[in-house]
Amino acid sequence: MARAAIMKLFGGGEKAVAGEKVLVVDDDRVILQLLEVNLEMEGYDVRTAANGEQALSDVKVFRPDIVILDIMMPRMDGMEVCRRIQADPASADVPVVFLSAKAQDLDVRRGYELGVAAYLTKPFDPQELIDTVERVLAGERVLPPGGP
């Protein structure tokens, strides 16, 4: 079924502001597809990248409003991708949400120290991710219960 038909069938597209762009970066194709479909159903313009190098290129060309980023990826991990996004004046203000299997308190704290807007752990609830994206795009920093 075409994505547009899925969006119409399930009534997606009401929440996102037209033109809000999301870059999803993960080396797991299943997660990329899941996030792409869920975000598109909410009305977001979504681009996916399977590694950090592709993500950095897409940040420059696609100019996303938010980046959802895995940490553990081959060639360049998400921490380094986040550092480079923030170091580039053209993308420094783009919020990053980590979505990672690295769930230890130390990992979460490192993410927030790096400046991420939110840190979600896998496995994740797709609705929680959508809610987090909406909150971050509204300018909120989403902290875990008890702080980072």
- Tokens found for residue 73: 């990826």
pTM of the model: 0.86
Q: Which of 39, 32, 33 is nearest to 7 (CA)?
A: 39
pLDDT at 75: 87
- Residue 10: which residues within 8 A CB-CB, separation 6 or more? 41
pLDDT at 127: 93
pLDDT at 146: 63
| Exposure string for 26-52, b = 16+ CB within 10 A, e = fewer | bbeeebbebbbbbbbbbbbbbbbbbbb
Q: Which of 28, 97, 21 is nearest to 59 (CA)?
A: 21
pLDDT at 22: 98
How far out from the chain centre does Cα 89 lie? 19
Tell me phi and psi for residue 64, to 5 degrees: -70, 160
Neighbours of 58 (CB within 10 A): 19
pLDDT at 74: 87
**Local confidence pLDDT in tens for the 148 residues of the chain:** 344 433 434 444 445 565 699 999 999 999 999 999 999 999 999 999 999 999 999 999 999 999 999 999 988 999 999 999 999 999 999 999 999 999 898 999 999 999 999 999 999 999 999 999 999 999 999 987 666 6
Q: Domains, the chain, ranges and CATH?
A: 40-125 (3.40.50.2300)
